[in-house]
Every structure is written in C-alpha cells, then in structure tokens.
Amino acid sequence: MIFRRRIRLSRAGGYEIRLAPEERDLLAALPLQLVSLLDEVGDKTHDELPDALRRLLPTAYATDPEAERAFVAMTREDLLEHHRDSLETMSRTAKATWLDEEQLVSWLAALNDLRLSLGSMLGATEEEAEPPGAQLHPAEWIAYLYLGGLQSELIDLLEGTLPDPIPGADDLVPEDLWGDPPGDLRWDGTPQPEEL
C-alpha cells in the first residue's frame, strides 16, 4: 500500500492540503467545540475545570493556592487567547487547499490542543495503548487516533524543512544539561563569578 501524504510542500511555496471532505468537516467542527469550552473558563480554579481542559491550563503552584491565583491572573487570558487563535485558524482554514507556514504552525498547535483535550477526557496515558475511556467513547477515541496521525505527519513535514545541523554544534552541549555551561559562562550568558 502506498501512503499518500495529506499535507505536503507546494512548489509555489506554502503547503498543499489534500484531505477528504469528512476530515475537513471534523477539523472545522472539533476546534470550535473546544473554543466554546475555553470561553466558559473564566476564573475557575484548576480543580473546577472540566477534565478536557486540565492539560491545556495546567497548574503551576499545586501546593500554594495564593501563588496559583496570582499566576492564573497574570497568564490565563494570554494562554486562552493563544489556544483560541490556533483552534479558530484551523476551523476557518479546514476547507482550504493551501496554507502558508503561519497557518500550518497554527494547525500543529490546534492538533496538540485537541489531542490533549481528548486524551484527558479519555484518560489516555503513555503507558496504556488504549485508555479506559476508549470503550465508553469510541468516536472520541477514533478522533484522538486520527488527530495523532495527522499531527505526526505534520511534524515530519515541518522537520524536513529545518536546515541541516551545524557540524560539531553538539560538542559544546554538556552531557548533564543542568551541569556547567560551556565556556565558563552561566546559562544566562553572564560570566561565572570568580571563586574566593
């Protein structure tokens, strides 16, 4: 069987999108369902969020409610806006036959958001091939698998557009990424203090 790429580089620039009508319908509808959930978030705490949103809006300070409230007040609107923008771009362009790079990157973000949301709802983990919710929600499980396949295809496509690595660039990266940075510098680029 020959695999036909659904998304590929266009010779004229940008990306050709070759999806079946059913796929396009799904990619137009699912993001808007998640947007409607995001619109109801308000100032709910992490525990008050529906399961489908908990991985999209993770807690930063699980043991410090006051710090968590401050974090939510400072970051939530921007995070919600980022999710909405990507999801709405995917929904709006689901019927398109060509996307520019910015739209394609939005698709990648939207696919990630949709998979996280469905995966949370289904109880998906890296350990289990089939989560507990797969039998109870077969349509959602099929959508989860489909979105994962499309996401993987998109990642492979975008990875192929990256420039070749610079030979020897990895030689400066320490074995222990949290250890000493190269060149007697701190990780923020400032010089190491002299030892007394």
Q: State what percent of residues in the chain have pLDDT above 90.
A: 61
Instruction: Give residue 189's pLDDT band: very low, low, confident or very high (50, 70, 90).
Output: low
CB 56 within 8 A of CB 78: no
Q: For residue 130, what are its two tokens? A: 């089939």
pLDDT, tens only, 60-110: 888 999 999 999 999 999 999 999 999 999 999 999 999 999 999 999 999
In a domain, 175, yes or no: no
Tens digit of each residue's pLDDT (9 = 90 or more) over 148-173: 999 999 999 999 888 888 887 777 76
Predicted pLDDT of residue 141: 94
Residue 171 lies in a domain: no
pTM of structure: 0.82
Show the domain range for 59: 21-160
How many structural domains compose the chain? 1
Q: Is 136 exposed, middle or buried (0-12, 13-18, 19+ CB in 10 A)?
A: exposed
23-47 pLDDT, tens digit per residue, is 999 999 999 999 999 999 988 888 8
Residue 137 lies in a domain: yes
Q: For the purposes of burial, counting CB atoms within 10 Å of the CB of 141, is it exposed (0-12), middle (13-18) or buried (19 or more)?
A: buried
The SS3 call for residue 48 is helix
In a domain, 46, yes or no: yes
Is 27 contained in some domain? yes
pLDDT tens digits, 138-148: 999 999 999 99
Contacting residues for 130 by C-beta, under 8 A, at least 6 apart: 141
C-alpha separations of 187 from 170, 176, 177, 192, 196 in Å: 16, 13, 10, 9, 21
Question: Which residues neighbour 75 within 8 Å (Cβ) at sequence distance 6 or greater?
Answer: none
HSE value, Cβ hemisphere, 13 Å, CA-based, for 91: 15
- 191 — pLDDT class (breaks 50, 70, 90): low
Asked whether residue 196 is assigned to any structural domain, the reply reads no
| Measured distance CA(152)–CA(141) in Å, rounded | 17
In a domain, 7, yes or no: no
> Is the pLDDT at 181 greater than 60, yes or no?
no
Q: Is 167 part of any domain?
A: no
Whether 90 contacts 106, CB under 8 Å: yes
